[in-house]
Amino acid sequence: MTQRRVLTIRDGSIRLGQALKLADLVDSGTDAKDLIGAGEVLVNGTVDTRRGRQLVAGDVVEVAGLSVVIETEAAGDA
């Protein structure tokens, strides 16, 4: 079974490599680059090898049985 987490971002988008680090799915940018380059990261159910891929609210990133849903802060939360 897949574990699901939520990653709340302030801006309208975040790069895939940054999201992996912020969600604690990798320890470093190098780890993110290697994982993404190896085709082990799914974005919305499809392998994506672009570390700079822009993620927006509603996107789902999956790595090794863990999934992270991207959300943005509500305007009132700022």
pLDDT of residue 56: 97
Nearest to 67 by CA among 45, 47, 35: 45
How confident is residue 78, by pLDDT bands cut at 50, 70 and 90? very low
When divided into structural domains, the chain yields a total of 1
Confidence of residue 73 (pLDDT cuts 50, 70, 90): confident
10-66: pLDDT as tens digits: 989 999 999 999 999 999 999 999 999 999 999 999 999 999 999 999 999 999 999
DSSP 41-52: -EETTEE---TT
Q: Helices (H), strands (E): how many in the chain? A: 2, 7
Q: Which domain holds residue 38?
A: 3-77
CATH of the domain at 73: 3.10.290.10
At 1 the pLDDT is 55
pLDDT at 76: 45
Alpha carbon of 71 to those of 7, 35, 39, 60: distances in Å?
6, 23, 24, 10
Say what the pTM is.
0.86
What residue type is assigned to position 68 of the chain? V
